[in-house]
Amino acid sequence: MSDNARPAALPGAPSSSPREFHFTADDFERVRKLIYDRAGISLSPAKQDMVYSRLARRLRAHGYTTFAQYLTHLERGDEKEWETFTNSLTTNLTSFFREAHHFVLLAQQMARSKHRPFRIWCSAASTGEEPYTLAITACEAFKTLTPPVTIFASDIDTNVLETAARGIYAEERVDKLDPERLRQFFVKGTGAQQGQFRVRPELQKLLSFARVNLLDARWPMQGPFDALFCRNVMIYFDKPTQYGILKKFQPLLREDGLLYAGHSESFVHALDLFRSQGRTVYERSDRKR
């Protein structure tokens, strides 16, 4: 979520700054409850301006003049709008080889594993940089463009999943990649696609994409997975929600599987489920040594 929001107004009071749409702190509390119930996201009180700016376009699209009108429309059960509402309030900050030490460890894990295919779930795929980094890591670890690896990539945001599935990135999205990696795993666009880079089809074949809400009672994938990437997602959930998700993660991992978390995330409240292996990597607590 953006950290540039100003503090929320006093309860029940409209914002002091002139705005196109009527938006009160009571409206903000309704939004907080709706996104928490729908996606488990806990919005802090400092996110009022962020909520306004992201949802204002939805009011324009529907012709509403107040947030109360829009939220009532949402609560009446418009499933397509629920999806857009959720997409609007989720944040997708990502890059290739972000938190690079995880991919060094993943390559080592692949080398040790006797399981074939080696199965990975990337539970916050965003615009695709993370799952394609997993695919590149697999190709490098096995020294082939057709490694014995399958990657299931999911996200709650359907818009970013469409971007990920296309696998096309502007030059600034790939300019920090090692030049040899860029040459080996991307195809430079020409003509109308000049300045863009497309992921090689061999990498795309390693991935499958699907929308998954981590709060859903059932998930479409089945374990066991050798590695589960859930990085910089849990920070948006409160501790009870985190615990519920971790409880569902555990049986999906092989006994010797690893859970990779974000750099600011800690699961000390779930020691009965996962124990740290150092640097935001966790193993199942019931793993026999």
Residue numbers annotated as active site: 54, 155
- CA separation, residue 252 to residues 19, 56, 93 (Å): 47, 39, 26
39: three-class secondary structure by DSSP: helix
Tell me the C-alpha distance between 226 and 115, whole Å: 8
Residue identified by tokens 């479409």 is 220
Cis omega before residue 224 (within 30°)? Answer: yes
Structure tokens at 24: 């009160």
Taking the C-alpha atoms of residue 167 and residue 96, their distance in angstroms, rounded to an integer, is 12
CA gap 240, 46 in Å, rounded: 21
- What does DSSP assign to residue 288? -
The answer to whether 233 and 123 have CB atoms below 8 angstroms apart is yes
- Residue identified by tokens 């953006």 is 2
Paired strand residues for 155? 211
Report the candidate in 75, 68, 130, 64 with the shortest Cα–Cα distance to residue 98.
130
Between CA 27 and CA 20 the distance in angstroms is 15
